[in-house]
Structure 1
Amino acid sequence: MAMQAGDIEKLIKEGIPGAKVIIRDLAGDGNHYAAEVVAESFRGKTRVQQHQMVYEALKGNMGDVLHALALQTSAPD
């Protein structure tokens, strides 16, 4: 069963309060998404740490219900 873009966005926003999240369905199949996440809590963290925060927010769905997620993370300008 695939995840809906709105569910992905909700989980990320719940796990990373104040984050701005844009989700795109890359293949139109509900299995391959791209996420752009901008959050103040990313400031001073490495890209790996930022991605780990997003994966943690997804509560174990990555690699299971959510098949593929291309991530772009950053702190606000």
Structure 2
Amino acid sequence: MELSDIEDLIEADLEDANATVTHARDEHDDDHLAATVVSPTFEDLPLVQQHQAVYDALGDHMTTDIHALEVSTYTPEEYDEHEA
């Protein structure tokens, strides 16, 4: 599965989402991925529910195509502060 396919799945499922998926840093194989997802969907959701929303967007791909996924989630405001 291509990284862009994973981004597309997340963005299609989460409202106004912007997803960036890369190979995780400090890993020695291509099976470990990292996703940064920015969406207003995460407003007022606990971190666990934010991450669950990303996993839900990927559905069965989490058990068939994706070995490990490190997730970072932000609202647009949080992301702007994070990048500042």
TM-score between the two structures when normalised by the length of structure 2: 0.80
Larger RCO, structures 1/2 (Cα 8 Å, 6+ apart): 1
| Aligned residues between the structures | 75
Matching of residue 61 in structure 1 with residue 61 in structure 2 = yes
**Equivalence for 1:24:** 22
In 1, Cα distance between equivalents of 2:59 and 2:12: 11
Structure 1 gap segments, 5+ residues each: none
Deviation per CA, 1:20-73, whole angstroms, max 9, x where unpaired?
111111358542110000100100000000011001100221132100100000
Partners of 1:31 and 1:67 within 8 A in 2? yes
Aligned residues with identical type, % of pairs: 39
CA pair 29-5 structure 1, distance change in 2 beyond 3 A: farther
Question: Any gaps of 5 or more consecutive residues in structure 2?
Answer: 78-84
